[in-house]
Structure 1
Amino acid sequence: MSAALRSEHHIELLGRPVGYRLRRSARRTLGLTIDGRGLSVAAPLRAPQSAVEAFLRANDQWVIDKLATLAARPRPAELAVADGLHFPLLGAPCRLALTRGRTESRWVEAGEGAPAQLQMRCTTRQSPADCLRRALQARALAYFEGRVAEFAWRIGVPVRPVSLTRARTRWGSCSARGIRLHWRLIHLPPEIIDYVVAHEVAHCVHMNHSPRFWALVGQIVPDLAGVRARLRTLGRTLPDFIDVVDAPPSLLD
């Protein structure tokens, strides 16, 4: 979208300063959206700024309440990628063994009473966080392909190609071209991943959310309601990875 049609603004609502993104397009009405990025206002191209602000003030209580709910949600942890880091893999702890060298990664399964391990090397010019994401994405794709094949066989549909997505608001999607699944699902327990995979595979039969669709998903996933609730909760806490930033030396050293 052109920068001229998207801009940042501030307004005071119920005595509180609120920032929002204004997006203009060829629409006829004003609309509000609140997500992980904050408040967005969609407006017609020719709507005056005064009309936008009047619309926000008319919905001030809703905006303040939704922003408060958003602020109270658990935030994803930012994990600094260094040797010895523990991160979730399939719902269980996994330890990173990081060294420098030619780029390579190897997964070592958990021993009795010990976490699984990712042995990873990356060059000094590479971002360890990026290397870790790539290793997780490769692990995720292989795992998801196996689960898609399993569920497709169970319900009697052809296996569709699987690819990864980084979509902000959807865990997966299904189309004639294949099934797309969010790579960060690999952090979650297998039964939650299975729900998302089963959901998308069931769309190969019912491209809707009709009672027949949910009945088919329920045949594959026990405790469907419980697993969906766990996904809503745990899905907000998946970690993000950042590189370790060396602090500058102290002047007192």
Structure 2
Amino acid sequence: MKLLRHNAPDPQQLALQLDFFAGDFSAQPKVDHPAPTPSAPLMPSTATSEPSRPVPAGKRRIQIGEHVLDYSLVRSKRRSIGFMIDDDGLRITAPKWVTLTEIDNAIHEKQRWIFNKLNERRERSARRLQPQMEWRDGGKLPYFGDDITLRLRANLAVGVQYDSETRELTIGLPQDAAEQQLKDRVQGWLQLEAKRIFAERLPLYAEKLGVSYQSFALSSATTQWGSCTADGRIRLNWRLIHFSLPLIDYVIAHELSHLREMNHGPQFWATVQSVFPEFVAARKALRDHAPETLPIF
């Protein structure tokens, strides 16, 4: 079965996109900290070294309570101290005139945010090491927020059949079918399911928001969950079908809210909250899912 393909949105139109797998495709958590004025009183630096573990090349080290924190420091012309978490850990960008003591004090002020983001990054890295799903009879596949089991039956009268009671997806293929053949069948079914669910949920939230959209299409993007153009064309990533209905609804509510607020300002988020009060938890749940935790087609 051929994969569904769709044309990219018109670049001349305003498209507002919802972050997809934030933190894993250069959408890294970062925050700014106001740079102190040169005359501001500051606490002494608490940076220390740990003899048992050498400081990595190009890094600085600071002791925060019982924790030892290594970070990269980049000097720039910016006016504030920026904190960013990526695969290499903490990176700080600071104005050239800010002293190391001032930077260390800024780290102490932001330590809760820093350690939370580092822990989230470690958890995502740990999930990457989990075994990938096996494309075979008995393999498990995430669908609608829970796992379903793949069954291969050569004598199946239809191509693909799903039993919601047993949560089994039966595919009309022999046990020794090629892995790519099985992937194509399953992906085709998932995309049809995604289109069906999206077609049911979009009108519900459009009515709640009092907006109308021109059309919607499936997306196979690797950097976003959805997008909305100024003229009301919605694109939703078919891989949302792996997640539970509330997460799907959040993305739909997010994109449709752009038809009232074509930005990500306070009024936009108030619009989202008016029809989806749990949007903060849903947004975090999506961001916590690294691409490596989903099946690879």
Range into which the TM-score falls when normalised by the shorter chain = 0.5 to 0.7
Label 1:238 to 1:186 Cα distance change in 2 as closer, same or farther (>3 A): farther
Is 1:119 paired with 2:170?
yes
Is 1:172 paired with 2:222?
no
The aligned counterpart of 1:104 is: 159
In 1: Cα distance, 2:171 partner to 2:212 partner: 36
Q: Per-residue deviation at 1:107?
A: 2.2
Higher strand share: 1
The aligned counterpart of 1:138 is: 192
The aligned counterpart of 2:72 is: 61
Is 1:156 paired with 2:210?
yes
Label 1:209 to 1:97 Cα distance change in 2 as closer, same or farther (>3 A): same
In 1: Cα distance, 2:141 partner to 2:263 partner: 35
Q: Which range is displaced more, 177-186 or 228-237?
A: 228-237
Label 1:160 to 1:237 Cα distance change in 2 as closer, same or farther (>3 A): farther
Secondary structure of 1:78's match?
coil
Q: TM-score, normalised by structure 1?
A: 0.63
Label 1:211 to 1:37 Cα distance change in 2 as closer, same or farther (>3 A): closer
Task: List alignment gaps of at least 5 residues for structure 1.
Answer: 1-33, 39-56, 243-253
Is 1:239 paired with 2:277?
no
Secondary structure of 1:142's match?
helix
The aligned counterpart of 1:29 is: none
Secondary structure of 1:81's match?
coil
Instruction: Give 1:234's aligned amino acid.
Output: H
1:178-199, Cα deviation, whole Å (9 max, x unpaired): 2111111111111111111100
Kindly indicate whether structure 1 or structure 2 has the higher relative contact order, using CA contacts under 8 Å at least 6 residues apart. 2
Q: Which range is displaced more, 141-150 or 71-80?
A: 71-80
Q: Per-residue deviation at 1:222?
A: 2.4
In 1: Cα distance, 2:198 partner to 2:73 partner: 39
The aligned counterpart of 2:65 is: none
Counterpart selection for 2:244 from 150, 173, 189: 189
Task: List alignment gaps of at least 5 residues for structure 2.
Answer: 1-21, 27-57, 60-70, 75-83, 90-120
Q: Per-residue deviation at 1:240?
A: 1.6
Counterpart selection for 2:267 from 212, 223, 236: 212
Is 1:79 paired with 2:90?
no
Aligned-pair RMSD on alpha carbons?
3.2
Label 1:211 to 1:65 Cα distance change in 2 as closer, same or farther (>3 A): closer
Label 1:164 to 1:216 Cα distance change in 2 as closer, same or farther (>3 A): same
In 1: Cα distance, 2:85 partner to 2:257 partner: 36
Instruction: Give 1:230's aligned amino acid.
Output: A
Secondary structure of 2:134's match?
strand
Q: How many residues align?
A: 187
In 2: Cα distance, 1:228 partner to 1:84 partner: 32
Residues 164 and 183, structure 1, Cα contact 8 Å, conserved in 2: yes
In 1: Cα distance, 2:290 partner to 2:198 partner: 17
In 1: Cα distance, 2:234 partner to 2:173 partner: 31
In 1: Cα distance, 2:254 partner to 2:144 partner: 18
Residues 216 and 236, structure 2, Cα contact 8 Å, conserved in 1: yes
Residues 135 and 183, structure 2, Cα contact 8 Å, conserved in 1: yes
Instruction: Give 2:169's aligned amino acid.
Output: L
Q: Per-residue deviation at 1:67?
A: 2.1
In 1: Cα distance, 2:159 partner to 2:241 partner: 19
Look at both structures and tell me which one has the larger radius of gyration over its CA atoms: 2
Residues 77 and 240, structure 1, Cα contact 8 Å, conserved in 2: no
The aligned counterpart of 1:147 is: 201
In 2: Cα distance, 1:199 partner to 1:127 partner: 35
Percent identical residues: 30
The aligned counterpart of 1:18 is: none
Q: TM-score, normalised by structure 2?
A: 0.54
Is 1:221 paired with 2:273?
no
Instruction: Give 2:72's aligned amino acid.
Output: Q
Q: Per-residue deviation at 1:106?
A: 2.1
The aligned counterpart of 2:107 is: none
Instruction: Give 1:61's aligned amino acid.
Output: S
1:118-137, Cα deviation, whole Å (9 max, x unpaired): 22224757611121111111
